[in-house]
Amino acid sequence: MEQFINWGILDLVDIVCVALMLYYLYRVMRTSRALNIFIGIMIFVLVWIVVSQILGMRVMGSILDKMVSVGLIAIVVIFQSEIRRFFYNIGASQSGLKRFFSRSQTQIDNEKKEMIMAVVMACMSMSRQKVGALIVFERSVHLEDAVTSGEKIDAVVNQRLIENIFFKNSPLHDGAMVISEGRIEAASCILPVSHNTNIPKNYGLRHRSGLGITEGTDALAIIVSEETGGIAIALDGAFHERLTAEALESLLDKELK
């Protein structure tokens, strides 16, 4: 009886571990264009298990076994960048945990508040001068495609730095700035453009790009209009428009963890 209980617990732990691994892999894959391939492989694996283990079809199972053994090499080739990112995220998570536990909650809250205030002050200043800007906050979904399309910066979020990047004569003012984990990760980034037909006609490429990145990810984008100086936030495929400094600060504080 005891052995049965032990095996039952081990089986449960085994299932939970496999589920967590698949979920983590899904999170990694959904940030890349290989997600559909990953889903197709998972479906193939399920068919292979049913045919070989459950139905016991020897001939079909043998064919699928050969395909799986050859397919492992193909998977490494197809997902080489995702595999590299998978192991990088594991290492980054360990470093992140160390940094998290080395700081108090008060320090974390203060750093978040300082970052938000720097962004708000920069946006208000650019709004008064009618300087166009597009600032994207990375949340749970990695924005690797956007970051790699721009210029790597990796700097502390600072009001003057933000304004200098979006200054009209700056070589980095075109495109988006990406902020990740409280730091400016890159600038002059290219974002996907939304094809939503309900976007107002007076909105240009900057607004369409800000909305586009939020349609495919959980990112948050701040858009400062060059024509009107108006400030808007794109979130979950929708605009929050005509934001005051207080409304912008409140929304950022609510949405950024």
What distances in angstroms separate CA 248 from CA 159, 215, 251, 252, one per listed residue?
15, 20, 5, 6
User: pLDDT band at 3, cuts 50/70/90?
Assistant: very low
pLDDT beyond 60 at 97:
no
What pLDDT was estimated at residue 229?
Answer: 95
**Coil vs helix vs strand at 226:** coil
Taking the mean position of all CA atoms in its chain, how far away is CA 39?
A: 19
Pairing of strands 176-180, 133-137: parallel
What's the average model confidence in pLDDT over 239-256?
95
Between residues 75 and 230, the one the model is more confident about: 230
What do you get for the CA distance between the two ends of the chain, in Å? 47
User: pLDDT band at 4, cuts 50/70/90?
Assistant: very low
Domains of the chain by range and CATH? 2-99 (no CATH), 104-255 (3.40.1700.10)
User: pLDDT band at 156, cuts 50/70/90?
Assistant: very high
Q: Among 38-42, 125-129, 213-217, which range has the highest average pLDDT?
A: 125-129
Q: Are 221 and 136 in contact (CB under 8 A)?
A: yes
Structure tokens at 158: 């600072």
What pLDDT was estimated at residue 104?
Answer: 64
Q: Length of the chain in residues, anyone?
A: 257
pLDDT beyond 60 at 13:
yes
pLDDT beyond 80 at 223:
yes
Q: Are 147 and 177 in contact (CB under 8 A)?
A: no
**Coil vs helix vs strand at 115:** helix
Helix runs in the chain, H state only:
2-29, 35-49, 58-78, 80-102, 105-129, 144-149, 159-166, 205-216, 245-255
What pLDDT was estimated at residue 18?
Answer: 75
Percent with pLDDT over 70 in the chain: 77
pLDDT beyond 90 at 189:
yes
Q: Are 204 and 228 in contact (CB under 8 A)?
A: no
The DSSP code for 192 is P
Beta-bridge partner residues of 187: 151
